[in-house]
Structure 1
Amino acid sequence: MRMLVMFDMPTTTSIERHNYRIFVKELEREGFVRIQFSVYVKICTNFLETKETEKQLIPFIREDCIVQSLVLTEKQYANMHFLSGTSIKDVRNISKRLLIL
């Protein structure tokens, strides 16, 4: 399963940009990979892991931000369509790489 995190954060002031960088670094530390400017994705083994990941991110979210998460199955993620632009042919977009332990 995949967990998408989509966010909108103000970056007008230097403090807002600093908070943005801290949040993005936390996403990367948690194993997320950027797929668009404010959209990150992470592979999770189960629903419980997605809930734990959300709990880890909450302390890094400021009041003036909008942050949403969405959990998708591998099949749902693989059915993503590119209406504009081209798919990058790497492991982030290929469901065949999934290894079930």
Structure 2
Amino acid sequence: MRILVFFDLPTETANDRRNYRKFRKDLLKNGFFMMQESVYCRMVLNKTSEKTVVDNIFRMRPPQGLVQVLTVTEKQFANMRYITGEKQCDVIDTDERVVIL
């Protein structure tokens, strides 16, 4: 399964920008990668780990702005269509537990 996080956070004041940077860094620390501006993605193996990750996002949410979470299956994610641009392959994109580089 994939967890997609969409967010739109204010950046008008210094405190808003600090909250934005902190939220983004927390997402990266928790294994998310940026798909595009303000859209981050992470792979999870089951519903239990999905719940844990969503709970972590809830705890690190900024005080203002919009944060949305969507969970999709691997099949749904693989069926994503690229209208403009191309898929970037710089991220390991497998659900195998052992990856040999």
Which TM-score applies when normalising by structure 2? 0.86
> Once superposed, which parts of structure 1, at least 4 consecutive aligned residues long, lie more than 6 Å away?
none
Task: Give the Å deviation of 1:15.
Answer: 0.8
Question: What residue in structure 2 maps to residue 68 of structure 1?
Answer: 68
5 Å matches for 1:40-51?
40-51=40-51
Matched, 1:99 2:96: yes
Matched, 1:23 2:23: yes
Task: Tell me how far apart the structure 2 counterparts of residues 80 and 100 of structure 1 sit (CA, whole Å).
Answer: 23
Task: Give the Å deviation of 1:91.
Answer: 3.7
Higher helix share: 1
**Structure 2: segments with no counterpart, 5+ residues:** none
Percent of aligned pairs with the same amino acid: 38
Task: Give the Å deviation of 1:60.
Answer: 2.1
Task: Tell me how far apart the structure 2 counterparts of residues 21 and 91 of structure 1 sit (CA, whole Å).
Answer: 22
Q: Deviations over 1:22-71 (max 9, x none)?
A: 10111111110110110000010111111111111223223421111111
Question: What residue in structure 2 maps to residue 86 of structure 1?
Answer: 86
State the secondary structure of the residue aligned to 1:82.
coil
Alignment length, in residue pairs? 98
